Each structure stands twice: as structure tokens, then as C-alpha cells.
Structure 1
Amino acid sequence: MQKDHFLTRRRALLAGAVSLGAAGVAAAFAPGAGNRAAPAPPPPAAGARAARRPLRPSEYRLRPLTGYGPPPHAPRGGTPVRHEPLLRVPAHGRTMVLTFDDGPDPRYTPQILDTLARYEVRAMFFVCGEMAAYNRDLLARMADEGHVVGNHTWSHPLLTRLRRSRIRSEMERTSDVVERAYGERPEWFRAPYGAWNRAAFQLGAELGMEPMAWTVDTLDWTTPGTRTIVDRVAEGAAPGVVVLSHDAGGNRSQSVRALRSYLPGLLDSGYHVTVPRRQYV
């Protein structure tokens, strides 16, 4: 397999097919939460960064998705205000995206990163600001290894019960922490509990973020068992699918073990597991 020479850099990272809105999902991409448990407990002390070997990126697994041009009716250089979140990515062949919410957590996130590195796969991490503030080394590692970091608010509140000023604060504080630790402000936003409202869409767009939901919910926060999580991913696998899992917010050991099981299976089945990249022409 021909290797490309993609080099990840902290300061130079990634800056269907189906859409629920009239604008269409293709407009958000340039090539590519349902319920969960109670909000995360107070963040644990940051752990030591897990040892890792250098990546050998391959074009087959690491090439970002490409998109199709500017969003309809979007201001030049701006982010459109959507009315519903994006659920899928453009299906360029057998392409899928893995996403992890609520971290980073020094108990589980390093293990997930180790597995992704082993298979030379990149993923999306929607982080909570209060967790990121305690574990900035893990965001730095995500940057070094080419993962995409999205905004999942500061404290994981139910946005539909908050005033507009509080929603903005939750988003802005998290984006500030991400920028300092990761090197860039997030370009993607996911509402806690999958609870979106008009203010969340508007404020997210003002802050330059696209709203992303998911196609397949593993429901791993219910700790249904490793085998069940694996089966849910396998049964939901399809071109353009976005998978939701968690790397924090509770005991995520089942999620860690499940990833080790289903990821090589997806790759062996010919799926391209990669990350989205926004690009407006």
C-alpha cells in the first residue's frame, strides 16, 4: 500500500451524503448524543502521558475526508447557522468516523489513543472543558497524533435549560482551553445529551463551529458489556457512519476493550476510519 507523507503538527492540523437540513451535509465537509450518564465527576489529577511509538501514517487509513464546496447561504468565510446537527459524513467509499465524548480522562483516554495509534487511525474527541483543563497533556497528544478535538461544553450541562449567556460561556471557555492545549480552536461542537436548541446552533456558528451528532450510538455509558458494544458498532457499520462512544464520564473500561476488538475488524472489512476536515472554497 502506498504511503503518503502526511505529518501531523500541533499548530498545523486539520483547521452524506445525508443531512437533516436543507443545506445538506456535503456543504460542511471538505473531502470528513443521545443520552448518557450523569455529568462527569470532578476531574481526576492528570496522569502521565502513555508511552507511544511514532505513527507511520498510511493514505488508506489516515487521509481526511474531502468535501464539496461552500455551505449554501453561508456568509463568506463564515459558518452557517443550521437547524439540525450533522449526523453523517459524505460517504467516500467505505468511510466511517469514530468519536469519543466527555474526556479526556487519564484512566481511559491514553488507552484509546494507544489503540488508535497501533492501527494508524485518527478519531474525533469531543472534550469537556473542565476535563481538558486538568489533562492538557492529553490534548497535546491528540494534536501530535492528528486527531480532531471538538467542543462538548465546559461542564456537560443540559443546554435547553440554560440562558444564552451561560451557553456562550460554556462554549467559549472550552474553546479557550482547547486552543491553548491543542493549538487550534475547535471547529466542531456536540451538545451534551444530544439536546440542541436554537441558541446552541447560533452560538456555535458564531464561534466558528459546525454541529455534529452521530449515526450509531453504542450506549457504552450504560456499561452493557464489551461484546454488546462491539456488536452495535458492527451492526451499524456503513459508509458515512459516525459512531458515538465515551472516554470519560464513568467507568469506560468496556469502551476501551470494545475498541480493541471492533477497530481491526472494521479495517479488515475495508472501512476507512478517518476524520472530517472542514473546508470552504
Structure 2
Amino acid sequence: MARRRLLLVAAGGVAIGVATVTGRGGGGHLAANAQEAPHTGPVRQPAKAASNAHPARAAGHAPPRTVGTVGGQPMYYVDDGLDVIALTIDDGPSPVYTPQVLSILEKYDIKAAFSMVGENVTYYPSIAREVADAGHTIVNHTWNHANLMSMKRSKLPGEVDRATDAIHSATGQRPGMFRAPYGAWSPTLLDYCASEKLAPLDWSVDPQDWARPGVSKIVKTIMGTTKTGSIILEHDGGGDRSETVAALKIVIPRLIDEGYMFTVP
């Protein structure tokens, strides 16, 4: 399991999640997705535990949205009211799993944020359009799921801008948010996101579905750690996501039954 630590940047006072490439919510690399389908791939206090909650969150309160500015923090929680949560889907689009996820979301009338890898968008532009046409939010997730932690600013356009261009070409939309692969943020990356008017998006509930731990484990993690403001991380790309699809069919109605409402970050 990947380890995560915090780096406090004295100049800006920014808490930045640092993760290894092999871990934190990374999902599979682009190649895994491409291979899966050849190019012919009342007041209720939140009492649930939050073992993977970001340390910056004060109990019961989401931090203010200071995203999209120089020195702004990534968004780990939404702040839209009691029992409001968000669902995010990463590493697609996938011709196999994205349509299945869309079908589930349509059934429960839920909107989600899909963090798309630019290269995958070029492989499956019609799937990206389906996501956009269904009213979901599309987030820039780099061109090829690279770890940008130590990347020089001069190299960032090739990962960030190139993905934006691919998404715009396929959907007619330009993303307003950016999610760093592996949750790996650096001051340079945050500053670049601000310059490009991309709000940095992270997450607070990670069932590590990308590692295929089993449907029951994914469900248990989500149900046990989700609370008001949580941003849930799931994946529709990067490999075999059948467990994710099966888990979503279980957790979404359960979360609704518990009184949760879904928003987008």
C-alpha cells in the first residue's frame, strides 16, 4: 500500500499531498487502459470514521475553496451542505467500463466528475462525448497519467495543455479542474494550474479500486469512510474495472438510503 506524507511549503503555507508512483489512487497507466480494448481500449452529525481523510480537514467542516489561485490548496472535500458528497471517476474514458458507469449514474440521476487521460480521449472520443453529453463534469487528468511531482514547469504544458486540447477536441469543452495522477502535487504544479485557471482537485475517500481488492472491500471502504463533504475516488480506466462497476451498483443506492446527496466538485 502506498504511503502518503505532507509537505508544508513555508512560502505559501500550502499543504501538499506527496505520494509514490506505485500507490495513492494512481490507477493503471494509460497503456493498461489502451490494452483492455484494442483500438478497433435533519441534523445528522457525520459519525463515520474517516481513516483516509486529509489531515487539513477540521472535524465536521470542509476547508474553504481556495482553489484556482496561486498557492491555492487542492480540493479534498466539497462544502455544499450536510450529507452532500461527490463522486469522481478517473483514468478513462474506456469503451468497456465508462458506458457501464454512465448507465449506473443515469439510473440514480447522479452527476459525477470524470478525470480523463488525454491520450485515452484521443483513442475513444465518442465515449468522452457521451460523458459530456450526459451532463457530467470532465476533469483534466494529464496526457498520459504521468507523475508531475518533480516535473519542470517547462514540461507541464505537454501533460496539462495537451490533455485539455484533446478533451476540447472531443467534447467541445475545456476542463476547469485538474487532478494530479497519484495525488502528487508540487508548488510548481499548483502554480501552473492557477496560471491556467484549473482548480486542483484531489479526493478524501480512496477504496483503492484500481488495485482490484475485491468488490466487498471497495464497498466496505466507501461505506465506512464516507461522510459529509467526502470526495470519493473510483476508476473507469487503467485496466479491469469490473469490480468498480459492481461496487458502484451496491454503494450508490446504499449511500442514497443513508441520506447522502451527490454533487460535483
Give the TM-score, by structure 2 length. 0.78
1:196 aligns to 2:220 (yes or no):
no
In the alignment, residue 111 of structure 2 is paired with which amino acid?
R
1:151 matches 2:140: yes
- 1:39 is matched with 29
Conserved? CA contact 1:168–1:203, under 8 Å: no
What secondary structure does 1:85 align onto? Answer: coil
How far apart, CA to CA, are the structure 2 residues paired with 1:120 and 1:39? Answer: 30
Describe the superposition over 1:63-93 as per-residue Cα deviations: whole angstroms up to 9, x where unpaired: xxxxxx995xx9xxxx312353111010412
Q: Secondary structure at the match of 1:217?
A: coil
Runs of 4+ aligned structure 1 residues displaced above 6 Å come to 20-23
Q: Which residue of 2 aligns with 1:176?
A: 165
Q: Does 2:71 align with 1:82?
A: yes
Q: 1:70 to 1:84 in 2, by over 3 A?
A: closer
Q: Distance in 1 between matches of 2:227 and 2:65?
A: 26
Distance 2:28 2:218 in 1: 20
- 1:52 corresponds in structure 2 to none
Q: How far did residue 38 of structure 1 move? A: 4.5
- 1:8-19 alignment runs, 5 A limit: none
Change (3 A) 1:273 1:35: closer
- Amino acid paired to 2:233: L
1:89-130 superposed Cα distances (whole Å, 9 cap, x missing partner):
104121010001111111111100110011110101110000
Amino acid at match of 1:143: A
Q: Does 1:211 align with 2:184?
A: no
- Determine the C-alpha separation between the residues in 2 that align with 1:266 and 1:113: 17
SS in 2 for 1:138: helix
Aligned residue identity for 1:195: A
CA apart distance, 1:36: 2.7
Q: 2:39 & 2:180 partners in 1: Cα distance?
A: 25
Q: Is the 8 A contact 2:27 2:91 kept in 1?
A: no
Between the aligned partners of 2:28 and 2:262, the Cα distance in structure 1 is: 29
Shift of the alpha carbon at 1:180?
1.9
Residue in structure 2 matched with residue 66 of structure 1 by the alignment: none
- Match for residue 84 of structure 2? 95
Between 1:85-94 and 1:248-257, the stretch displaced more is: 85-94
How far does residue 182 in structure 1 lie from its aligned partner after superposition?
2.1
The gaps in structure 1 that reach 5 residues or longer are 1-19, 24-32, 49-68, 277-281
State which of 121, 127, 145 in structure 1 corresponds to 2:110.
121
Q: Give the conservation status (yes or no) of the 8 Å contact 1:36–1:222.
A: no
**Aligned partners of 2:148 and 2:180 also within 8 Å:** yes
State the Cα distance separating 1:34 from its structure 2 match. Answer: 2.2
Deviations 1:153-183 (A, max 9, x none): 0011111232222222110011111112222
Where 1:249 maps in the other structure, the secondary structure is coil
Aligned residue type for 2:128:
L
Structure 2 residue 151 is matched with structure 1 residue 162: yes
Structure 1 residue 45, shift from structure 2 partner: 4.5
Give the aligned partner of residue 267 of structure 1: 256
| 1:131 aligned partner | 120
Which letter maps to 1:40?
A: L
The answer to whether the 8 A contact 1:83-1:198 is kept is no
- Tell me whether 1:110 sits opposite 2:103 in the alignment: no
Q: CA deviation at 1:22?
A: 7.2
Aligned residue-pair number: 225
- Which structure is higher in strand share? 2
CA distance in 2, matches of 1:82, 1:107: 38
Q: Hey, what does 1:252 align to over in structure 2?
A: 241
CA distance in 2, matches of 1:37, 1:96: 22
- The separation in 1 between residues aligned to 2:259 and 2:149, in whole angstroms, is 40
Letter paired with 2:113: M
The answer as to whether partners of 1:99 and 1:125 remain within 8 angstroms in 2 is yes
